[in-house]
């Protein structure tokens, strides 16, 4: 009777679970083989949550070997691992520019850059613009023109101007505005920041 009931209604409840169980065994075996073969390299490369990987960063001409979590931003590593605190976290989402550093000579937001991605590049922070114990030309120009108020955004502004001058040694006002447009000054010292950029170009040209 049981046999006829299955034929009439298609498949019994018992038959259904038996077929599902068999399918699960096949799928599980397939996944296991993939893990042992094709996916073994990916499994070896995976970093567990909270795990760290070794990297080497070149910052201000010095090489640093570090253990970092893949999720750590370059800003976090610069400040908390290397003690280079000039770059500031203002917004943490690439809107204010207080964390600006140079990566291979170009201004970049350190809060949006992963430390692991910066390996193999040359990183320059505000500290790296010093000439020994003396201010660099851009820093000196900011002092001379009083191009800051609270000073929180100033490190990023200085680095942005430095990056601009490395690309355009004698920028006009439009180029200066464009080059510093990614850096916000909540105190509104933009006029003097532009003057500082112009003065920076003069000092760099004089070699002082």
pLDDT digits (tens, 9 = 90+) for 137-187: 999 999 999 999 999 999 999 999 999 999 999 999 999 999 999 999 999
pLDDT value, residue 131:
85
| DSSP characters over 62-90 | EEEEEEE-TT-BHHHIIIIIS---SS--S
Most distant pair of Cα atoms in the chain: their distance: 104
**CATH, domain range 52-125:** 3.10.20.30
pLDDT value, residue 12:
55
pLDDT confidence tier of residue 29, bands split at 50, 70 and 90: very low
Find residue 109's DSSP bridge partners: 100
Superfamily classification of domain 130-208: [2Fe-2S]-binding domain (1.10.150.120)
Encode 104-114: b = buried (16+ Cβ within 10 Å), e = exposed: eeebbbbbebb
Rounded distance between C-alpha atoms, residue 129 and residue 59, angstroms: 11
Terminus-to-terminus CA distance in the chain, angstroms? 102
Rounded distance between C-alpha atoms, residue 86 and residue 152, angstroms: 9
Task: Assess contact for 141 and 192: CB atoms under 8 A.
Answer: no
Rounded distance between C-alpha atoms, residue 196 and residue 142, angstroms: 5
pLDDT value, residue 207:
79
Name the burial class of residue 164, with classes exposed (0-12), middle (13-18) and buried (19+) by CB atoms within 10 angstroms of its CB. Answer: buried
The domain limits of the chain are: 52-125, 130-208
Q: How far is CA 77 from CA 44, 50, 131, 149, 176, in A?
A: 25, 15, 24, 27, 30
Q: Tell me whether the CATH fold assigned to 52-125 matches the one assigned to 130-208.
A: no
Q: Whole-model pTM?
A: 0.76
Query: Which residue bears the tokens 């590049």?
Result: 121
């Amino acid at each position: 009777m049981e046999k006829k009931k299955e034929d009439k209604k298609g498949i019994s409840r018992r038959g259904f679970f038996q077929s599902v169980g068999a399918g699960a065994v096949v799928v599980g075996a397939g996944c296991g083989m993939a893990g042992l073969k094709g996916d073994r390299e990916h499994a070896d490369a995976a970093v567990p949550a909270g795990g760290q990987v070794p990297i080497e960063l070149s910052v201000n001409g010095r090489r640093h070997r570090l253990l970092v979590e893949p999720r750590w931003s370059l800003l976090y590593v610069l400040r908390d691992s290397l003690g280079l605190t000039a770059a500031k976290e203002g917004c943490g989402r690439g809107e204010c520019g207080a964390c600006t550093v140079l990566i291979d000579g170009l201004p970049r937001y350190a809060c949006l850059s992963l430390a692991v991605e910066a390996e193999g590049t040359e990183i320059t922070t505000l500290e790296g613009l010093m000439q020994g114990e003396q201010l660099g030309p851009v820093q000196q120009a900011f002092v001379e023109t009083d191009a800051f108020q609270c000073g929180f955004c100033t490190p990023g502004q200085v680095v942005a101007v430095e990056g601009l001058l490395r690309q355009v040694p004698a920028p006009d006002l439009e180029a200066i505005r464009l080059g510093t447009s990614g850096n916000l000054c909540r105190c509104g010292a933009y006029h003097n920041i532009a003057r500082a950029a112009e003065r920076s170009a003069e000092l760099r040209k004089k070699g002082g």
